[in-house]
Copies of this chain bind each other. A is one copy, B any other.
Amino acid sequence: MTVRFGLLGAGRIGKVHARAVTGNPGAVLVAVADAFPAAAEAIAAQYGCAVRTIEGIEAADDIDAVVICTPTDTHADLIERFSRAGKAIFCEKPIDLDVSRVRACLRVVEETGGKLMVGFNRRFDPHFMAVHQAIEAGRIGDVEMVTITSRDPGAPPVDYIKRSGGIFRDMTIHDFDMARFLLGEEPVSVTATAAVLVDKAIGEAGDYDSVSVIMQTASGKQAIISNSRRATYGYDQRIEVHGSKGMVAAENQRPVSIEIATGDGYTRPPLHDFFMTRYTEAYANEIASFIASLEQGTPLSPSGADGLAALALADAAVKSVQEKRLIDVG
């Protein structure tokens, strides 16, 4: 079986998914749609697929699945439409920035028997996958404390910040999902602190750039998240899980692994400076997982419910900062 794809959105992340789909032997990219025809045509030319409208893809008999890479505020609508059209859906995170809108959307997916996977790409990073596998294999015993350090190379433009839903919903959301993935239990409480240390303009836009979060599960397992919008040394992406029998950690990644020693010491190059180079393999792996699940008829994961759960944790973190207290989410 070959899964026939339509691509909705031909921007930066759309190109990433186009490459992932066309590079996968179990898939074919049939058509691409974008509000900017030039963007769609560029992808069509490179990969030999058709340019169509969203409506055309919706109605197409020769398309089994879509990848939604359009702006965030269109995701929920498109999920509903394509769920009704009977297409399997891979949607970039988030489904929506509003929990009630996400709930409504997921009801439609459920009612229509839709198939939805949400793009938490980090679950498919080979290093983080290996951490998860080590846990599943019992290498560290029972999970006790998860520590996630996630720092961007640099803050995005303030215009982006304003539309982002805030750092917890935009950036920490990846870490909320990763914490759930690794804890193996749902958090029942969220505590967070937040500050503006990197860029005053972010504060003026009503957001934070430096945050710390603690979550705890019913059995007492704890997860700590540390976020900053700026790390001079590159894209800092570490996870560490401490358990009853040991610890497992994923190391940071750099494009070049050399070391230069001089009288000033031993120096290795900075980390990756961009999420696309850092997570190249993760993007390919998540599309491969989507295709494999469709082929084998197994549940799509991460699911819409996973997207909702991470968003709810982000909302709780916002509330914790505002109310200076631990928020029960159990």
Contact A214 to B228, CB < 8 A, known contacts A262-B245, A263-B246, A268-B266: no
Are A246 and B232 in contact, CB atoms less than 8 angstroms apart? Answer: yes
- A145 — which chain B residues lie within 8 A by C-beta? 210, 212, 226, 228
Whether A195 lies near B221 (C-beta < 8 A) is yes
| Minimum Cβ distance to chain B for residue A54 (Å) | 28
Q: Are B256 and A264 in contact (CB under 8 A)?
A: no
| Contact (Cβ within 8 A) B214 A193 | yes
Chain B nearest CB, measured from A128 CB (Å):
9
Interface residues of A in 179-201 (CB under 8 A from B): 189, 191-193, 195-198
- Residues of chain B contacted by A269 (CB below 8 angstroms): 130, 265-266
Interface centre among A191, A219, A242, A270, by most B CB within 10 Å? A242
Closest partner residue, chain B, to A131 (CB atom): B258
Q: Hey, which bits of chain A sit against chain B, CB under 8 A?
A: 126-127, 130-131, 134, 139-140, 142, 144-145, 147, 149, 151, 189, 191-193, 195-198, 210-212, 214, 216, 219-222, 224, 226, 228, 230-233, 236, 242, 244-251, 253, 255-270, 324-326
User: By the criterion CB–CB under 8 Å, are B244 and A261 in contact?
Assistant: no
- What residues of B have a CB within 8 angstroms of the CB of A326 in the complex? 191, 193, 324-325
Copies per complex of this chain: 4
CA distance A198 to B221 in the complex (A): 11
Can you list 16 contacts pairing A with B, beta carbon distance less than 8 Å?
Answer: A140-B262, A147-B149, A191-B214, A191-B326, A195-B216, A197-B221, A198-B244, A230-B244, A233-B261, A247-B261, A247-B262, A249-B259, A250-B257, A250-B258, A265-B267, A266-B269
CA gap between A145 and B194 in the complex, in Å: 11
Q: Check B246 against A224 for contact (C-beta < 8 Å).
A: no
CA distance in complex: A268, B149 (Å): 20
Cβ-defined contact, A231 with B222, below 8 A = no
Closest A-B pairs by Cβ, 5 of them:
A195-B220, A246-B262, A233-B261, A325-B325, A324-B326
A134 touches B260 (CB 8 A): yes
- Check B242 against A231 for contact (C-beta < 8 Å): yes
New A-B contacts (20) at CB < 8 Å, excluding given A193-B222, A232-B244: A130-B258, A134-B258, A139-B260, A147-B149, A189-B193, A191-B191, A193-B216, A197-B219, A198-B244, A210-B220, A212-B224, A222-B226, A233-B265, A236-B247, A246-B260, A248-B261, A251-B258, A251-B259, A264-B270, A324-B326
